[in-house]
Structure formats: structure tokens, C-alpha cells
Amino acid sequence: MYKQITIFDKKVDLEVGSVYIIFNNYLSQNQKLDDSRKIFYINLPFQNSIKISKYIDHKDLSIDTYDKLIKKYNLEFIKPQEIIDVFNQLIYTIINEIENHDIFVIGTMGVSFESVKLILQELINIAEVQKKIFILVQDTSKNINILEKVNRLKLKDFENWYINNLGDNNNVFIFKQS
């Protein structure tokens, strides 16, 4: 089953139960995001996206609550800990909203290279089981606008595949650990 949405001024058909990455070099607040109530935009530089810091201000951020959510959605790679860094805040926000939305569009700015891979590993499982669609948006310096479906095979060769699409974007790898 497919759902059609408009993202970055383009209509796209997305397969339910899948994870995608958009490699895009011209993110701008002028571009239109589909404003459906079933789509959750987080951590993007757009007006109708949710800023993590504002979202978590009024939530129960205890390790207990986080641990229960991690167990509920069978997250294998995420270890419950204090929700203080962007990675844990992002995971917490996604799994806290999973029941309320069908499509999640997630900006990866400020998230480390290793964390993007971890998030993708978990999202593939969640997408398949919960019948959700996840789109990670990765800003790149290459003059491209690519939407790619992510599968386990790509994750096995993640570094080469990911770097290939990012091109010469050194800023992304400020966060990459050596």
C-alpha cells in the first residue's frame, strides 16, 4: 500500500511500512510541507515542524518512561538513559508520537553519523511492525534532491552508500567519530 504526500514541492508516493532518506541541498523555509494532521515533522527548519526542545519541555523525561517505550516498541539498539542529547530526545519524541501519526519527517541536523545509522536500524523495524512511514532529511552540499528507500542491505554498507550521496559535505562529518 502506498500513500501520496507533498514534500519539498514534490508529490511522492511512499510505501507504508518503509523508511526513506531525502538527500537535499536546498532546504528552505519557503518550500511547502504537506500539512496533514497525520504527518509529524520534527527538527526541520520549517515553521510547521516541531522543535525537540519545545516538545520535551512538558513531557515526562524519566528513564522509566523512556525504558517502557523502548520495550513496548522492541528497540534493540537503544539503551535507556537520561534524555539529554539530541539523539535520545529524537528517539523519545518519535516513539512517544508513534500512535498519533502515520508519516514522520525527521531532520537529521545535529545528529551524528553513527546515530543516523542507529536510528535507521530501529525505524526499519518500527515501520514494518507499526505500518508507518519514516523520512529522514539529510542536508547535503551536492546539487541533488534524491529520495531513497532504506533497507537492511544498504545499512550493511551504510558508510559507503551514505557518503556517496552526501558527496563533499564535510560539515556532516563534524559529528562523525573516528
pLDDT at 23: 79
Spatial contact of 96 and 65, defined as CB atoms under 8 Å apart: no
pLDDT at 111: 79
61, three cell numbers: 523525561
Angle at 78 between CA 42 and CA 160, to 5 degrees: 75
Higher-pLDDT residue of 75, 7: 75
In this prediction the pTM is 0.84
The conformation of residue 171, written as its DSSP 8-state character, comes to: G
pLDDT at 30: 62
Domain edges within the chain? 2-49+102-174
Outline where DSSP puts E strands in the chain.
2-7, 10-15, 18-24, 39-42, 103-107, 133-139, 145-150
- Cell 556517496 locates to 164
Give yes or no for residue 132 having a pLDDT over 90: yes
How sure is the predictor about 154, in pLDDT bands with cuts at 50, 70 and 90? confident
Question: What is the per-residue pLDDT across 41-91, written as a single tens digit (0 to 9) for each?
Answer: 998 777 778 888 888 888 888 889 889 999 999 988 887 776 777 888 888
**Count of CB atoms within 10 A of residue 176's CB?**
13
- Cell 504527518 locates to 39
pLDDT at 140: 67
How sure is the predictor about 169, in pLDDT bands with cuts at 50, 70 and 90? very low
Question: What is the per-residue pLDDT across 104-129, written as a single tens digit (0 to 9) for each?
Answer: 999 887 777 788 888 899 999 999 99
Give yes or no for residue 176 having a pLDDT over 50: no
Tell the burial category of 78 from Cβ atoms under 10 Å away from its Cβ (0-12, 13-18, 19+): buried
pLDDT at 143: 58
